[in-house]
Amino acid sequence: MFRNQYDTDVTTWSPAGRLFQVEYAMEAVKQGSAAIGLRSKTHVVLGCVNKANSELSSHQKKIFKVDDHIGVAIAGLTADGRVLSRYMRNECINYSFTYESPLPVGRLVVQLADKAQVCTQRSWKRPYGVGLLVAGLDESGAHLYYNCPSGNYFEYQAFAIGSRSQAAKTYLERRFENFTDSSRDDLVKDAITAIRETLQGETLKSSICTIAVVGVGEPFHVLDQGTVQQIIDTFEIAAEQEDPATEPDAATGQEAATEQGTAADQGGSTDEGAAPMDI
């Protein structure tokens, strides 16, 4: 994407029919630190990578509770994200007050998208520079939506946004078919693993990621660091157990017939599928 003469104003079309300012706003989302979301039939999990300005500062808050049944993870300009979360919280509270009922997620997302669209059609405004992963539960089940700065929104089974999110997306693409029937704990494990994919080599610690869950009978809440660290530790334990386990399997495979060996390999790989390790 290079500078051209049609990109100064959000209200200027390019000859190719593009609004460059809106596309630049989507670039801002790609620069933010990663956020991922995945859902099953009954639960939605959001995760994000904590980015701190410097060693001395605390990390930015990227996951916001909007209501007991809705939460949002943001990537991009966090200030814009904060403002939009406040808007979402307001909408939820007003609906709850008038109707004594939780606001359906689909409607909140449309209201948010319409708000973002307004900013793409006013010359004195600029698009919001933040992508939002909205996770929520309503009568029709668990939902995960992605709201773009362009005013578009999509529903997803699993998605990742922000820098190095492609690695997480690849991991999620491999496994998303299993998510619908996943248990809540498996879903959280998958979320943490997806985050690890975006870290690309950095050690996975609970201080570097934040996980939040919402589900049937479980209001939206952020998991505390202790719980997250415990789950991360189970990954490490599984890795240690696998190494001694695969050796005797490989040994028996070599001694026995080829068919037995392939069966043992397949047994080993399904174990790895449950808690995939760097091979």
Give residues in contact with another protein (CB under 8 A).
97-101, 104, 106-107, 110, 138-140
- Provide, rounded to whole angstroms, the least separation between the CB of residue 97 and another protein: 8
- Provide, rounded to whole angstroms, the least separation between the CB of residue 138 and another protein: 7
- Provide, rounded to whole angstroms, the least separation between the CB of residue 206 and another protein: 37
Residue closer to another protein, measured from CB, 141 or 219: 141
Residue closer to another protein, measured from CB, 31 or 101: 101
Angle of helix 165-175 relative to helix 184-199, nearest 10 degrees, comes to 140
Per DSSP, the residues of 154-174 read EE-SEEEESTTHHHHHHHHHH
Residue closer to another protein, measured from CB, 111 or 225: 111
For 104, other C-beta atoms within 10 Å of its C-beta total 18
Q: Is 268 in a helix, a strand, or coil?
A: helix
The Cα–Cα gap between 145 and 103 comes to: 15
The Cα–Cα gap between 3 and 6 comes to: 8
- Provide, rounded to whole angstroms, the least separation between the CB of residue 193 and another protein: 33
Helix segments in the chain, DSSP class H: 20-31, 78-99, 105-118, 165-175, 184-199, 225-255, 258-274
Residue closer to another protein, measured from CB, 81 or 102: 102
- Provide, rounded to whole angstroms, the least separation between the CB of residue 142 and another protein: 14
